[in-house]
Amino acid sequence: MASANVRIFTAVNWEDEVLKASLPVLVDFWAPWCNPCRMVAPVVEAVADANAGKIIVGKLNVDDAEQLVKNYGVQGIPALLLFKGGNPVDRAIGGQNSQADLQAMIDRNA
């Protein structure tokens, strides 16, 4: 991962890092074997860098957090969910999302 502004979320740190966060949190539900996930990774990093201090951005490997995947109804990856106050408020599905798409999602919810 190239950007220092992208955190790694796990089932262990989920509550503290996402649900209790004081800022909105953009979570990239991904897997290392997922080609579209690898395609969207640079976009996620660019969004993290452009919004540093405004939102938190991180990645959750779906293979390591199956219960969280079920809890949030993630049926396909990549799935990018925006959390605010511990609740998902918006989502973008698929590898075709641009930086402008994700920024628009952040701007209308953050």
Question: One of 6, 25, 27, 34 is an active-site residue; which one?
Answer: 34
Report CA-CA distances (Å) from 97 to 66, 68, 102, 105: 24, 22, 7, 11
Question: One of 37, 48, 81, 82 is an active-site residue; which one?
Answer: 37
Q: Is 37 a catalytic residue?
A: yes
For 92, the 3-state DSSP assignment is strand
Q: Is 94 a catalytic residue?
A: no
Residues with a known catalytic role: 34, 37
